[in-house]
Amino acid sequence: MFKRPDRNTGTFAGKARVLSVLTLFAPLAACSSLGGKAEANAEPLSCPRVAIVRDASEVTQFRPGAGKDLTDIRSRAALLDFTGGCEYDRNGVTVNLNLILAAERGPAMTEPQSDYRYFVAIADPEGQVLAKREFDTSVEFAATNGRGGSVEELSQQIPLPEGKSAGDYQVLVGFQLAPEQLEYNRKERSF
């Protein structure tokens, strides 16, 4: 089950999202016997890999209508980077992630802010998505240069079965795109 305690939007540094997938992984958690400390002869515990999905790393929002040239762009946003780490306990591993989002106002934008939707997904060692959740965020644009951004603070708990390493799992992030936005991103990358 994912939890989202509040809709904290609008400031660069004050965003927080808390995720939990305990109910989705309850059978795995029951099998887990990790105690939070690696034994002296055990391999070091590793964190899940985090990746920004390439085709979903940017989003371009156009004004309504058929026009799709530069003058029709309301805003553009990109997931630039992330920082974080993980902590093991007897329930599995908790991944703490700061996702850095930047945006800029386009010529067709008249509002002082724009809303974006992004996703966080957990993939198992075989690459199958086990859980996915979408989140909304808003970016307020500076009046002087039309740019803004946010740091999305995420905390993800992944229960692990005995003998499995968190390094075998993957946390995937990206913008939740409409089909035409995904096509636009792929077309832009082909140049």
Which residues, at least 6 apart from 122, have a Cβ–Cβ distance to it below 8 Å? 21, 48, 129, 130, 131, 132, 156, 158, 169, 170, 171, 172
* Residue 28 within any structural domain of the chain: yes
Q: What's the number of domains the chain is made of?
A: 1
Whose CA is closest to 97, among 52, 141, 55?
52
Q: Give pLDDT, residue 20.
A: 35
The phi, psi pair for 41, rounded to 5°, reads: -95, -5
Q: For 1-8, which contacts have Cβ atoms below 8 Å and span 24 or more sequence positions?
A: 2/131, 2/133, 4/135, 7/136
Query: 150 with 101: CB under 8 angstroms?
Result: yes
Of residues 92 and 17, more confidence is placed in 92
Query: 102 with 147: CB under 8 angstroms?
Result: yes
Q: Which of 32-36, 109-113, 138-142 has the lowest mean pLDDT?
A: 32-36
Q: Give pLDDT, residue 44.
A: 66
Q: Give pLDDT, residue 19.
A: 37
Q: Mean pLDDT over all residues of the chain?
A: 79
Residue numbers of the domain that contains 112: 15-189
Q: Give pLDDT, residue 115.
A: 96
Whose CA is closest to 13, among 154, 114, 150?
150
Of residues 163 and 43, more confidence is placed in 163
User: Could you tell me the pLDDT band of residue 96, with boundaries at 50, 70 and 90?
Assistant: very high
Calculate what percentage of the chain has a pLDDT beyond 70: 76
* Residue 5 within any structural domain of the chain: no
Provide the β-strand partners of residue 78: 58, 102
**Residue 189: is its pLDDT beyond 80?**
no
Tokens of 154: 């995420």
Which residues, at least 6 apart from 79, have a Cβ–Cβ distance to it below 8 Å? 52, 57, 58, 99, 100, 101, 118, 173, 174, 175
Q: Give pLDDT, residue 165.
A: 86
Rounded to two decimals, the pTM is 0.74
DSSP annotation of 109: -
Q: Give pLDDT, residue 15.
A: 41
* Residue 7 within any structural domain of the chain: no
* Residue 9 within any structural domain of the chain: no
User: Could you tell me the pLDDT band of residue 100, with boundaries at 50, 70 and 90?
Assistant: very high
* Residue 114 within any structural domain of the chain: yes
Identity at 71, one-letter amino acid code:
T
* Residue 165 within any structural domain of the chain: yes
* Residue 6 within any structural domain of the chain: no
* Residue 178 within any structural domain of the chain: yes
Mean pLDDT value of segment 103-108: 95
Q: For residue range 73-87, what is the model confidence (pLDDT) as tens digits?
A: 999 999 999 999 999
The phi, psi pair for 54, rounded to 5°, reads: -55, -50
**Residue 60: is its pLDDT beyond 80?**
yes
Provide the β-strand partners of residue 105: 75
